[in-house]
Amino acid sequence: MTDTREFYAASVSEAVGKAVRELGLAADEISYNVLDEGNSGFLGIGARDARILVETTVAAPEVPVEEGELLGVAPDNEVVADEQVTEPAEFASRPEPSTRGEVDGESTESEQAEAPQELLHDVRELVTSVLEAMNLDARVEVYDAGRFIAVDVSPEDPALFIGQKGETIDALQYLVNVAAFKERRFYKRVVLDAEGYRQRRVEAIQGMAHRTARKAVREGRTVEMPPMNASERRVVHLFLSDYPNVTTESDGTGNGRRVMVSPC
């Protein structure tokens, strides 16, 4: 039967090379379609990987795959089928979703102070100028949300502004935080959002954490989650902190750092 897999890399040729290495085939032995040629972006903002879809022929399995093997963590944009496994008692109720502010760490004394209007104005100007450089037309609203400065952006193309797995909005948020406080003694975290993306992302991560914890308890082994940035890993640690019978810890370095969920 035919199997298809997507591969991502900085360029199409690198994606093909990655496919060749992972599949253990020669370059002339794979068939692929280019889904996206990628983009280097503007100063790294708006950059996206090239994507190819590779088709390979694989033999059908001789024995059926057990249902339990299909219950791993699904990608953010996939829907997990209803499981026929009885819900363990310890997972019968789930904590309420975290607020957007919880994604970005604990509140500090400086973050409790009200941000000056001059800073809010400068943040708005900074975000607007970067959006113009990216040729993105969007409405920008900036306000002090208490623990952080909220920047709500309403672009004509939210998907382009957010980027693959939030890479664009996260990169822009990082640059704004660096630039806005470069010559200021006052600091309060700036959080960019678009069309409620941050809260949806929190809820998606919590869903993955919930399924991973169930799998760890059910199979009695440590299960690793996909690589995440620091704020996303924090969502997992917070969400599972009240769950009995599981512990969490971060492992790995750089972009490969992830949360490991273990039964206890």
47-70 pLDDT, tens digit per residue, is 566 777 887 654 444 333 333 322
CATH number at residue 160: 3.30.300.20
Instruction: Evaluate whether residue 64 is within a structural domain.
Output: no
pLDDT digits (tens, 9 = 90+) for 132-175: 888 888 999 999 988 889 999 998 888 888 888 788 898 899 88
- The answer for residues whose C-beta is within 8 angstroms of residue 181's C-beta and 6 or more apart is 187
pLDDT at 28: 66
Residue 74 lies in a domain: no
What is the CA 150 to chain-centroid distance, rounded?
A: 19
Residues 153 and 205 in one domain: no
Residues 184 and 205 in one domain: no
Of 10-19, 35-44, 54-63, 150-159, the range with the highest mean pLDDT is: 150-159
Q: CA-CA distances (angstroms) from residue 184 to 38, 115, 192?
A: 37, 12, 20
Same domain, 207 and 174: no
Question: Which structural domain, as residue segments, surrounds residue 5?
Answer: 1-58
Give me the number of domains the chain comprises. Answer: 3
Nearest to 210 by CA among 186, 155, 158, 202: 202
Quick one: CA torsion of 65, 68, 72, 77, rounded to 10 degrees? 80
Q: Is 221 within the bounds of a domain?
A: yes
For residues 246 and 264, give the distance between their C-alpha atoms in angstroms, rounded to a whole number: 5
Per the domain annotation, does 185 fall within a domain?
A: yes
Four-residue CA torsion sign, 181, 184, 185, 187: negative
Asked, for residue 79, whether it belongs to a domain, the answer is no
pTM recorded for the entire structure: 0.53
Q: Where are the alpha helices (DSSP H) in 108-229?
A: 109-112, 117-133, 158-162, 167-180, 197-219
Assess whether 241 and 191 both reside in one domain. Answer: no
User: Quick one: pLDDT at residue 100?
Assistant: 38
14 and 48, same structural domain? yes
Residue 132 CA to residue 127 CA, distance in Å, equals 9
Domain boundary among 145, 171, 195: 195
**Within this chain, do residues 30 and 42 fall inside the same structural domain, yes or no?**
yes
- Whether residue 111 is predicted with pLDDT greater than 50 in this model: the reply is yes
pLDDT surpassing 50 at residue 117: yes
